[in-house]
Amino acid sequence: MKGYELKQKISKIYRFATKITIYAAVLITIVSFILDIFDIKLSVITKLEWIILSMLIATPFLGIIVAIFYYYTHKNTRILLSALGIIIFITAVLIKGYIS
């Protein structure tokens, strides 16, 4: 199997992110449900929700960053440029969004 070492690394990142997301999301849902019953609103819950969502969105890009290092050491220019292109584009969009 080609690039098994890379596939193992990406798989580990994805598995870790899945576990954290599921546990944290279930916990937040239960806490929100209890707070909803007593009509309590906590801003910390919204912050935690954003952290979970940000982590989830970042996971696929973290996989690509790992791939960039792998293809750089293996001198696979075509894939390296494509992966770099994705990350540079995303970073540019995020910076532009943050500024505006």
Partner 1 sequence: MEIILLVAIGIIAGFLGALLGIGGGSIIVPILVTFLHYPMHTAVAIGLLTIVATSVSVAHVNILKGLVNLELSLILEFLTVIASIVGGFIGNKLDNNTLQIIFGIILSIISLIYIKESIRPKIESNIIKDKNSFFYDEYYDFDLKKYVGYSPINIIKTMIVSIMAGTFSGMLGIGGGILKVPAMNLLSKIPIKVAIATSNYMIGITAASGSIPYIIHGKISPAASIYMIVGVIFGSKVALIKFDKIKDKKLKILFGLFLIFVSLNMLYKGLMR
| Binding region for partner 1 (CB under 8 A) | 1-4, 6-8, 10-12, 14-15, 17-18, 21-22, 25-26, 28-29, 32-33, 36, 45-46, 49-50, 52-53, 56-61, 64, 67, 76, 78-79, 82-83, 85-86, 89-90, 93-94, 97, 100
Least spacing, CB of residue 76 vs partner 1, in Å? 8
The Cα–Cα gap between 52 and 14 comes to 14
Nearer to partner 1, 72 or 76 (CB): 76
- Residues near 64 by Cβ (< 8 Å), separated by ≥ 6? 83, 86, 87
- Taking alpha carbons only, the member of 65, 53, 76, 52 closest to residue 3 is 76
